[in-house]
Every structure is written in structure tokens, then in C-alpha cells.
Amino acid sequence: MSWVHVMIVLPLLFAVFIPFLYKAFPKIHTGWFVLAVPVAIFGYLASFLPMVASGQTAMLEVPWIPYFDINFDVYVDGLGLIFALIISGIGALVVVYSIFYLSKAREALHNFYVYLMMFMGAMLGVVLSDNMIVLYLFWELTSVSSFLLIAYWYQRKQSRFGAQKAMLITVFGGFSMLAAILMLHNIGGTFSIQELIAQGDVVMQHELFLPAMLLLLLGAFTKSAQFPFHIWLPDAMEAPTPISAYLHSATMVKAGIYLVARYTPIFGGTPEWFWIVTGVGLFTLFWGSINAVKQRDLKALLAFSTISQLGLIMSLLGMGSAALYFGSGDDAAQIHLIAILAAVFHLINHSTFKGSLFMVVGIVDHETGTRDMRKLGGLMSIMPVSFTLALIGSLAMAGLPPFNGFLSKEMFFTGTLNAAQLDIFNVGTYGVMIPIVAWIASIFTFVYSIVLVAKTFFGKYQPERLEKEAHEAPLGMLIPPSILGFFVIAIFFFPNVLYEYVLHPMVNSIAPSIGPSLDYTIEAWHGWDAIELWMTVAVVALGLILFSTLKKWMWMNNIPQSMHLNNWFSGGIRRMERVSHKIIDFHMTGYIRDYLVYILITFLIIVGGSFFLTNSFSMQSDIGEVNLFEYALAFGLIGAAALVVITRSRLTAVVSVGVLGYVIALFFIILRAPDLALTQLAIETVSVALYLLCFYHLPKLRSREEEQGEKFQPFNFIVALATGTLITLIMLSVNDHRLFESISWYYEDAYELAGAANMVNAILADFRAFDTYLEIFVLAIAALWCFCAHTITLE
């Protein structure tokens, strides 16, 4: 147990005390107590930065279920540590922001902070765990706490819908990830990610390699809102804005990115990984940026923007994985590694500017009462600080200097251009598409970034359409986005400090074989002849043209309703419910006769099928001599049984059943079973008397049925005939399949052993008295049930 373990579970432990603090100090906003937790975690984890920057890692082990190789092992390396710092750092800012955002009087704050702490602990566990099962555990905990946070205002229908949708999609991905983890355990014999990386060649040659990879990617894509699983993210915007800023832009949606990055050393360097991750990422980038432009709601715009930027990071990870194909020492590896560097760089940048943008949007919502861009406008002079922050965030998102988005966007272009020239993985001429798609998507990114600022802060102020009088937010709400905004600019001017302490360790983790040899300096200026520069210039120029003609081409975005993925999802859920209803209504008819048919047909298929497939029928052995009595009795039996089936009168049927019973008693006599014969006679008499009693008192309505008789149903007839035939054949064959000699010789000594000459009774009362003992209980229970049923219905 180390301090890092304590830091991971600290939020979870602290969550227990939050409700008490909430009740004990009603005057103080609960968030102030909570604030200490992320600050402490951030402070402690930051002390690892120099160690990680120097290329070292730490593995801290705590046994949990060693028998199953499940241990709470923590691996501190560049990737995990930086993610943990982002989680705790932005977590602290979000807590500060939410203190001013959520009303102390009106909101259930204890719920909010308990869920938030649950989420923070889970997220720290995801990024720091080395054991895949523990990782999965924390992974699902993020899904659950995110579900709780999205539905924080559970009185609203939309919140519940969004939470359910997010839950269904992310848990679906989580389950497939679990399957991938079990496959990887099957391949490598370990749950430890680092041990799996160490035996990378074994994994790559295994036949489960591809299924494990696909299932793992399914988990990563659902969590990180990649196409076509991105549909939950816009609906998750029903959550309170601090949550949207924290979970749905900076941390949880990056869990999938983390997963892809973490598994790159295992799966990277293969064409499948390259094409799937790059392709899905690029398409998500493209799709998200186009959809973001047409949104009217500020948070919906940011949601699609997040989807698009996550696609960008994902595609960079895919392109960068090509570096692993070349291996260390190759110049090509160094070139393609830039894509991974760009990915982690943009990941950090995105967390800063998207977090601040969400907070600004929250401020606008909070101070004006609406997020609808059609109602907003002209807030620039009313909310100057928010405007400045929004401008910084938007321009960083659009990829303009002097903001950090510019640097990572340039590197993104570099990565795509490098990937286009790849001569492996059948890239060929398709490679040209990579930078073109990326470039088009960047144009739309530029357009929606401008839309965000222009529609909200420029134009005409329309106070009559707003619910509140707009004014600047309190200082506490402005501080967290200001800190993030500060980083947006600071990273632009000092990117190489970040490179040394943050980016390089992360690249080392993602590509451990070649990362350490990477020597790169991030520069804002590549010279006039760099293609990236002219691509950016073209983005700005075309973006401005598109923005100024926005009204003229917006109709292009009007995809018919039936083509929307949301409709497919909702329709799919509805259809599944309908189909399962239909299936249940079809076979659960409520009629015992139908269920009986199912049982008999199942019996016929399974028993009959195995009987005939194994060719078990045989009738060789001598079945003894049949004498005249037995023929006579057998005919009597058949006659009585036939009469039961074909008669129209109930009375006849009851009497025929009695005849059947008495003939069986006669059979017992012939077969020399006097005890059975006696009992059979007595029991048959009693049961026939009871039948008569029952049928005599049947309601009148049913007696009409008696006159007409049962309708002949050929299907029932066939099933009955088949069952009877099968049982007869089995009975005949059983005689030839005696596996061992009978054990009845033992009981022949009954007089010596039990002092009883009647062997049957010796067995019943002595040798196997336990059966008898329980059978009298059966009788007793039947009698008491009968008594209860009749007395209770009387009352």
C-alpha cells in the first residue's frame, strides 16, 4: 500500500463523509470541503513529474485476489500520471466552479459531490491501474457515476433519457472490453498490461489477437464517443454544466483515448489497428465538425465539437501507431512518432480550452437563462471577461495563433501528411484522403468556433428574449476558466517546457520501444515553405467565406430525419422491445396444453434425437413367455385406455380410468406383487371416488362441452402418438442395455438382516426407510393443503 493507492481511493472514501458534512454545516457550501481532495491529489501526484520526466516509471503492487491474478497494482508512468494530473487538476477547478454554479439552497449538493467524488476516484483508478480487471472495475464505475451525474436533475425527462442512453452505450462497450481482457489473459496468461507488452510478439501471433483488438476498440470507441457511438454525448448535455465540462470534455470521454494509447504498444504496428483507429477517428472528426455547425444550443455545439476533437486525437494515435511497425533506430519511426506526440499534445490542449469553453457557456446560461444561440447576442460589452475567455477558447479550438490549438493543429497536419506518404499497410493512393479529410474537417471546426463566439457575444442584445437581466458572473465562477485560459496561452509560448515534462513521458509510454529516442522541438513557425502553414491559411480563408455565407448553405445540413443515428438508436430500442413482446406473446400463451406440447416436442427432439442418432434401438433379448392371462389383461387395458380417449361422457372416462387401475392391480397379482396389488386396489378406489366427486360438481357451463366432446386435433394426435412410440421403443431397448447386474440379491437375505420375511416391507420400512419417511410427509402436506384450500375458500 503506497500513497498513490491512497490517493486513488481517497475520493471514494471522502464521498462517505460528504452527506454528514452537508448536514452538519448547512451554512457552508459543501464544495469547499470537497475542494481539498483534488488539490491534495494534484499536489501529491505532481511530485512524481521530475521522476517521470527523467524516463523512470514505478510499479506499486497491492495484492487483492492473488489467486486469480487480480491485484490492485498501480503503474506510474508518463501516460497515467499526466491523465491523473488532468483529472485532479481540472477536478479542482470544476469543484470551485460548481460552488458558484450550484445554488446551496435549491440543489441536493450532497448527491452531487458524492457522485463527483465517485467519478474522480474511478477515473484515477482507470488511468493508474496496471491490472486489467481492476481497470475494468474502475471503468464501469465511471460509467455508473457518469450515469448518476447526467441524471442529476432526475425530475426532467430529458435527463433520464440521456442518462439511460449513455449507460446503455458505454456499458455495452464496457462488456466487450471485458471480453477483450479475458481474451488477452488467455493469450498472455496475465492481467498485467506491462507484462503483456513485454510479450508483445506472442500476443501478435495468437489467433485471438484480432477479436481481442476489435472488442477492446469497441470499448474505447463507445466511451470516447467515436462514430457511430457518439450519439450519447449530445444527450448527456442535460447534466449540470460543471459535469459537462469535467466528464464530457476533459476526462471521461478521454478514457477511450487513454485505452487506445495504453494498448498501442501491444496492438500498434499492425495494419488492422492503423486502419481502424485512423479511419474511425478521421470520420468522427469529419462528422462531428459538420454536425457542430448546425447546432442551435451552445452545449450541443460543444458536444459535437468534443466528438470531433476526440476523433482528431484518435486518428492521430492511429497514424502514430505506424511508428511501431518500423521499430527503434529507424528514421521513419521518428517521423511517424510525431503523430503520437501531436495526439498527446492536442489531448492536453483540448482539456484546457474545452473545459474553459464549457465553463463560459455555463456562465452564459447561468446569467441569461438560456443556451439557445438564436436568443443570445450582443453580450460582448455586458460580459467582457466571459467574452475574452470564450474568444481564447474558440480561437484555440479553431487552431489559430497565439493559442495552443494552433501548435497541435499544425502538428496534426504534419502527422496526416506523413501518414499519406506511408508505403506500408496498403496505404497507397488512399493515403491522400487522410490530409484532405482532416483539412475539410478543420475548416468546419473553424466555422463552428467562430459561430460560437459570434452568435453569443456579437450582434444585437435582445433582453426581451432572455429570462434574466444579463450581467457578468461572480468572480469565483470566472477564476477556473481563467486559469484554463491562462494555460491555453502559456502553452503556446512555452510548449517545450510542456514537451519535456509532460509530452515526452507520455510518448515514451505509448511507444516504449522508440519513444525515448525521440528528439523534437515544438515550433510555432515552420518557415514559408511549410505545407502546414498554407493549409492553416486556407482553413482560415475558406472558413471565413463559409461563415459569411452560413445562411446560404445551411440547408445542406438538413439530413432527412430517417437518416439520423439517434432515430436508429431509439427506433432500434423500440423495435427490440416490440419484437421481444411479440416473441413472448407468441409462445407464452397462458394455456397449459401449449406448454405441454413444448415440453413433449422438446422431449421428442432431445431424447428421440439422441436415441436414433446413437442407433440405440434393439430387441434381441428374450422377453419371456406371455401367457393367456396377460394377453387378456393387456387387451382390457387397451380397451379401457381407448375408451378414456374417445368417450364423450366424463362419467365413462372416470369409470374407464377406474377399470385401468383395477386391471393394473390384476397385473400386479400376476406378476406376484401382493403388496402392490393391495395398495393399488385401495388407492384406485379412493381416487375414483374423488374423481366422481369432482366431476359431479363441475360448473354447468362445461357440461355443454361434454355433449359435443373434445374436438379432434391432428397435431396433438401426432405428438401423442410420437411420444408413446418413443417411450415404447425406449422401454423395449432398455432390456438389452443392462449395464450391471441387479443388486436385489442383497435383499433376499431380508430375514437375516432385518428380521422380516416380507422383503418389500423390509425395504420400505428398514433398508430404505428414508424414502418412506419422506413420502408420509408428502401425504401429510397434501392432506393439510386439501384442508386449508377447503376451509379458506369457505371463509
Partner 1 sequence: MKANDVILQTVTKVVSFIILSFAAYLFFAGHHDPGGGFIGGLVTASALVLLFLAFDIRTISNGIPINYRLLVGIGLAVSTVTAVGSIVLGFPFLSHTFEYVDFPLFGEIELATSVLFELGVVLTVVGGTLTIILSISEDV
Alpha carbon of residue 672 to chain centroid? 67
The H or E element spanning position 64 is strand 63-65
Smallest gap from residue 768 Cβ to partner 1 (A): 9
Smallest gap from residue 593 Cβ to partner 1 (A): 26
What residues contact 764, with CB distance under 8 A and at least 6 apart? 771, 772
Task: Compute φ and ψ for 60, nearest 5 degrees.
Answer: -115, 120
Rounded Cα–Cα distance for residues 554 and 545 (Å): 13
Look at residues 70, 167, 189, 188 and name the one whose alpha carbon lies nearest to residue 573: 167
Rounded Cα–Cα distance for residues 7 and 81 (Å): 12
Which residue's CB is nearer to partner 1, number 528 or number 770?
A: 770
21 CB-side CA count, 13 A: 18
- Give the number of residues written for the chain: 795
Smallest gap from residue 743 Cβ to partner 1 (A): 19
Contact between residue 298 and residue 324 where contact means Cβ atoms under 8 Å apart = no
3 state SS of 152? coil
Which residue's CB is nearer to partner 1, number 330 or number 748?
A: 748
Contact between residue 122 and residue 142 where contact means Cβ atoms under 8 Å apart = yes
Rounded Cα–Cα distance for residues 710 and 780 (Å): 36
SS3 content of the chain, % helix, strand, coil (to 5): 75, 0, 20
Look at residues 295, 307, 427 and name the one whose alpha carbon lies nearest to residue 372: 295
Smallest gap from residue 747 Cβ to partner 1 (A): 14
Smallest gap from residue 629 Cβ to partner 1 (A): 20
| Max CA separation in the chain (angstroms) | 116
The alpha-helical segments, DSSP class H, found in 647-747 are: 650-670, 674-696, 700-708, 714-734
Smallest gap from residue 744 Cβ to partner 1 (A): 18
Rounded Cα–Cα distance for residues 766 and 527 (Å): 104
Smallest gap from residue 685 Cβ to partner 1 (A): 8
Smallest gap from residue 132 Cβ to partner 1 (A): 51
Look at residues 224, 280, 282, 227 and name the one whose alpha carbon lies nearest to residue 248: 224
Which residue's CB is nearer to partner 1, number 606 or number 686?
A: 686
Task: Compute φ and ψ for 86, nearest 5 degrees.
Answer: -60, -45
Which residue's CB is nearer to partner 1, number 587 or number 768?
A: 768
Which residue's CB is nearer to partner 1, number 620 or number 791?
A: 791
C-alpha cell at 190: 496475465
Give me the helix-helix angle, 209-223 and 255-267, nearest 10°: 160
DSSP 247: I
Amino acid at 143: S
For cell 493507492, the residue is 5
Which residue's CB is nearer to partner 1, number 619 or number 783?
A: 783
Smallest gap from residue 663 Cβ to partner 1 (A): 19
Which residue's CB is nearer to partner 1, number 27 or number 790?
A: 790
Smallest gap from residue 779 Cβ to partner 1 (A): 4
| Whether residue 402 has a cis bond before it, omega within 30° of 0 | yes
Smallest gap from residue 697 Cβ to partner 1 (A): 6
Binding region for partner 1 (CB under 8 A): 674-675, 678-679, 682-683, 685-686, 690, 693, 697, 754-758, 760-762, 764-766, 769-770, 772-773, 776-777, 779-780, 782-784, 786-787, 789-791, 793-794
β-strands 70-71, 63-65: how paired?
antiparallel
Strands (E) in 449-521, as ranges, are none
Which residue's CB is nearer to partner 1, number 17 or number 691?
A: 691
CA distances 376 to 447, 456, 495, 550, Å, are 18, 5, 36, 17
Which residue's CB is nearer to partner 1, number 623 or number 774?
A: 774
Where b means 16+ CB within 10 Å and e means fewer, 588-618 reads eeeeeeeeeeeebeeebeeebeebeeeeeee
Which residue's CB is nearer to partner 1, number 530 or number 692?
A: 692
What residues contact 75, with CB distance under 8 A and at least 6 apart? 57, 58, 59, 60, 128, 129, 130, 193, 194
Contact between residue 330 and residue 422 where contact means Cβ atoms under 8 Å apart = no
Smallest gap from residue 687 Cβ to partner 1 (A): 11
Which residue's CB is nearer to partner 1, number 468 or number 768?
A: 768
Which residue's CB is nearer to partner 1, number 489 or number 676?
A: 676
Which residue's CB is nearer to partner 1, number 557 or number 679?
A: 679
Rounded Cα–Cα distance for residues 513 and 527 (Å): 32
C-alpha cell at 436: 484532405
Which residue's CB is nearer to partner 1, number 559 or number 694?
A: 694
Which residue's CB is nearer to partner 1, number 592 or number 776?
A: 776
Smallest gap from residue 632 Cβ to partner 1 (A): 24
Smallest gap from residue 596 Cβ to partner 1 (A): 26
Neighbours of 403 (CB within 10 A): 26
Which residue's CB is nearer to partner 1, number 523 or number 771?
A: 771
Which residue's CB is nearer to partner 1, number 3 or number 696?
A: 696
Rounded Cα–Cα distance for residues 523 and 411 (Å): 10
Smallest gap from residue 592 Cβ to partner 1 (A): 23
Smallest gap from residue 706 Cβ to partner 1 (A): 20
Smallest gap from residue 773 Cβ to partner 1 (A): 6
C-alpha cell at 419: 501518414
